[in-house]
Amino acid sequence: MRKLRLLTTASLAGILLVNAVLLVGLALRETRAAPRYEDLQLFSRVLSLVQEHYVNEVDERELIEGAIEGLLSKLDPHTSYLSRDLYQEIQRDTKGEFEGLGIEITKGTDYVTVVSPIDGTPAAAAGLRARDQIVAVCPEATEDSCKSTQDMNLLEAVKLMRGPRGTKIMIQVLREGWMTPKPFVIKRDAIKVSSVRQNEIEPGMPYVRISQFQERTSRDLRDALAVARSAGPIRGLVLDLRDNPGGLLEQAVNVADLFLRQGVIVTSEGRSNGSGMQWTAQAEGTEPDYPIVVLVNGGSASASEIVAGALQDHERAIVMGEETFGKGSVQTIIPLEDESGLRLTTALYYLPEGRSIQETRIKPDVVVEQFSEAQVEAIEEAGERKSFGEVDLEGHLASPEGEDPGEAAEGEEDETPLTRAERFTRQLQRDRQLARAVDLLKSWSIFSRLDLGGAGG
């Protein structure tokens, strides 16, 4: 499967998301092999013939860009040409502010496939899921504007999904278990993504989700842990990297470094000088040694795999969930003279134990499959029914603390908005992987207090 990392963004509905990308200028060095001028002459000759004899007048700039895109398509799916617009948008992406639908996509053997929707975006609100296949894009939100993605490259799909924010687009989606595609109409919007979101499992036990690795991610993670620590020492942490498509390599290293005192975090190895690098952990600023459960799934890719793999190799955390995406290459963004750019695969990265995850993925220490759609629906239906208890018995004694909890004023309905804690409790009921991680942390905390050595005799 071709696994190009793309993020659809809304007045530009599609834009490349940096996945373990080194955002640095690459000094252009002389190539070892001398250029084949006869091949360049052939290209120039073809270009001249097209300009002179093609039935319609053509734009030379479009021809050149098309030739560059064709050249790069012969390499790997992560290498691509960035037009001026795309190059500017990729700078905005890393700051967490851009316009688009908010999904990362890849190109399979047939159709464009969703790697993951980004939290809080139109795509996530519309209900798109990882592994959904986008079989057609309808940029005008009408059936007669639909175009199949089967023979479409990712850049073409990206261009079709572009459009001013506030305008609507329709995509035809095929999901596992569906016999036919279903239409999703989504309104393009400006997106501002906060990459770190926090909740409290219980005092001293935070849940932190990182949706992608942006410029402020490691700083925001420190702040989130400081808030959790304000109520007392942290006794355990759930770090959720599910459906995290990656981002800045530097931020992935900083996040892993936050939990490691020493040792290699990640190594990159490439063909050119300077592409081989190694990042190591520093003791200063390291978090205390509390238990950590890292959640991953098939939407966890690139930079998120670096963090999960480094913590796993150093035995600093238990990795739970499902196998990750398996993207182990590093892309360098090279600015070009006309304000466009080149996204070039320059190296492969390797985890502390020397393993590459390119295509092989990260295997969880504890495999937990997520609830199916049918199981979630059953849970929601069960939640609407009250469980049977003392309050349901005829003639039961009322609570000494006042009003019978089973009684309410006739016609009275509780419409109070859910608190943050209540929303998190609901999430636990519908999220098997998160619930298992919480159970593991709580069990860990209980067993650590037991005097197992003093038992028996």
> Whose CA is closest to 177, among 402, 417, 313, 377?
377
Does some domain include residue 361? yes
Residues 138 and 281 in one domain: no
> Whose CA is closest to 8, among 82, 118, 111, 167?
118
Residues 164 and 138 in one domain: yes
Domain that holds residue 238: 194-328+348-384+420-447
Identity of residue 134: I
Residues 100 and 155 in one domain: yes
Helix axis angle for 249-257 and 303-313, nearest 10°, is: 30
Residues 131 and 10 in one domain: yes
Q: Where does a domain end: 162, 191, 220? A: 191
Return the CATH number at 102: 2.30.42.10
Does some domain include residue 117? yes
Torsion of CA 20, 269, 332, 105, to 10 degrees: -40
Per-residue HEC secondary structure of the chain comes to CCCCCEEECCCCCCECCCCCEECCCCCCCCCCCCCCHHHHHHHHHHHHHHHHHCCCCCCHHHHHHHHHHHHHCCCCCCCEEECHHHHHHHHHHHHCEEEECCEEEEECCCCEEEEEECCCCHHHHHCCCCCCEEEEEECCCCHHHCEECCCCCHHHHHHHHCCCCCCEEEEEEECCCCCCCEEEEEECEEEECCCEEEEEEECCEEEEEECCECCCHHHHHHHHHHHHHCCCCCCCEEEECCCCCCEEHHHHHHHHHCCCCCCEEEEEEECCCCCCEEEECCCCCCCCCCCEEEEECCCCCCHHHHHHHHHHHCCCCEEEECCCCCCCEEEEEEECCCCCEEEEEEEEEECCCCCCCCCCCCCCCEECCCCCHHHHHHHHHHHHCCCCCHHHCCCCCCCCCCCCCCCCCCCCCCCCCCCHHHHHHHHHHHCHHHHHHHHHHHHHHHHHHCCHHHCCC
Does some domain include residue 105? yes
- Annotated active-site residue 107? The verdict is no
Q: Where does a domain end: 191, 226, 261? A: 191
Residues 172 and 260 in one domain: no
Q: Where does a domain end: 159, 175, 191? A: 191
Does some domain include residue 378? yes
Task: Give the tokens for residue 325.
Answer: 């995406």
Return the CATH number at 200: 3.90.226.10
pLDDT digits (tens, 9 = 90+) for 119-158: 778 998 899 987 899 999 998 888 889 999 988 877 678 7
Catalytic residue among 313, 329, 340, 431: 313
* pLDDT at residue 412, rounded to an integer: 45
Q: Which residues of the chain have pLDDT under 70?
A: 1-36, 89, 92-98, 108, 155, 193, 274-275, 380-397, 399-420, 451-457
Q: What is the pTM for the complete model shown?
A: 0.69
Residues 131 and 161 in one domain: yes
Asked if residue 247 lies in contact with residue 94, where contact means CB atoms within 8 angstroms, the answer is yes
* pLDDT at residue 438, rounded to an integer: 93
Residues 213 and 263 in one domain: yes
Does some domain include residue 398? no
Does some domain include residue 394? no
- Annotated active-site residue 302? The verdict is yes
Does some domain include residue 47? yes
Residues 68 and 127 in one domain: yes
Does some domain include residue 279? yes
Residues 180 and 199 in one domain: no
Catalytic residue among 211, 302, 329, 340: 302
End-to-end CA distance of the chain: 59
Residues 183 and 203 in one domain: no
Residues 289 and 425 in one domain: yes
339: left (phi over 0), alpha (psi -120 to 50) or beta: left
Residues 17 and 82 in one domain: yes
Catalytic residue among 3, 107, 159, 327: 327
Number of folded domains that form the chain: 2
pLDDT digits (tens, 9 = 90+) for 264-299: 999 998 887 766 789 999 999 999 999 999 999 998
